[in-house]
Amino acid sequence: MALSPRSWLSRNTRFLFHATLALLAVAVLSGVAHAQESGAAPSSGKSLIMFMIESLGWVFGPLLLAISVAMLALVVLLLLDLRMSAAIPPGFVDEFTDTVNKRKFKEAFDMARNDPSFLGQVLTAGMSRLQYGLEDAREAAMNTLESIKSDKEQKNNYTAVIATLGPMLGLVGTVFGMILSFQVLSIPGTQVNPTRLAEGISHALVVTLFGVAISVPAIFFNAFFRNRITRVCMDVGHIADDLLTQMYHNSKKPAAAAPPPAGGATPPAPR
């Protein structure tokens, strides 16, 4: 059963709220444990989250943040577009079938044309070619469905790009951080500064961590949306084919005979 947009948003809002609370709890506990292990009071040391954010630097930090925001926007957009209620509106099939059975073909066409859903777009394309035969109408409908599917797949491909960019940026950050560390070690005649050495190593590790952390959900959502697109388009194609077939056969049926005049008298045949 398809969820209404309000129920869907409410469920996902609760999920995001609980996930955010869980992440904050993990961050706080990690910062406390890190401070306790280092022998300092929790309030006197720098939290782990702040340390990781500072280790990212002014180049990789904004870049990874921009990629994260782009991935979140893509996920929300595809979740809204691929809802079953957005592809096949509730009650549309029954109302369309009832209109066709009453031989109100113009009203049925207007109903499909005014509906922005996947099914409405596919039916509009098929019905506009129904006068040339059922096969021609099916071909036009499937072409429109393939166009819709291609559009959603192109958007989903960007999640695959993000899944590839994450580890690559992490690798670049790792190499850059190791270069900084070896630059400290390469200074002749001076004692090695452990703080500067640790800064380069922490930069390398933190950038790698954030790059992998971005790629993991991107890989998951890419596979999820790829399967979702296939499922939604298959359902829309089957329903559209059934409705077009029903409309075609109803249009070929002869109209009902007019009722006889009142009184039961048969009008005389013209001479």
4-17, pLDDT tens digit by residue?
A: 444 444 454 454 44
Domain residues for 230?
A: 47-166+224-252
**Structural domains in the chain (count):** 1
User: Is the pLDDT at 205 greater than 50, yes or no?
Assistant: yes
**Is residue 98 a part of any domain in this protein?**
yes
Check residue 88 and report its DSSP letter: S
Q: What is the mean pLDDT of the chain?
A: 77
**Is residue 230 a part of any domain in this protein?**
yes
> What's the confidence (pLDDT) of residue 148?
93
**Is residue 115 a part of any domain in this protein?**
yes
**Is residue 263 a part of any domain in this protein?**
no
**Is residue 138 a part of any domain in this protein?**
yes
**Is residue 72 a part of any domain in this protein?**
yes
Rounded percentage of the chain residues whose pLDDT exceeds 70: 74
* pLDDT range class, residue 235, cuts 50, 70, 90: very high
What is the distance between the alpha carbons of residues 200 and 234, in angstroms, rounded to a whole number?
52
**Mean pLDDT to the nearest integer, 52-75:** 84
**Is residue 213 a part of any domain in this protein?**
no
Q: Between 52 and 32, where is the model more confident?
A: 52
Is the Cβ–Cβ distance between 118 and 92 less than 8 Å?
Answer: no
Q: Between 89 and 38, where is the model more confident?
A: 89
**Is residue 16 a part of any domain in this protein?**
no
Tokens of 134: 């059922």
User: Is the pLDDT at 226 greater than 90, yes or no?
Assistant: yes
Question: Residue 95 to residues 100, 101, 106, 121: CA-CA distances in angstroms?
Answer: 9, 10, 14, 16
Q: Between 132 and 271, where is the model more confident?
A: 132
What is the distance between the alpha carbons of residues 254 and 252, in angstroms, rounded to a whole number?
6
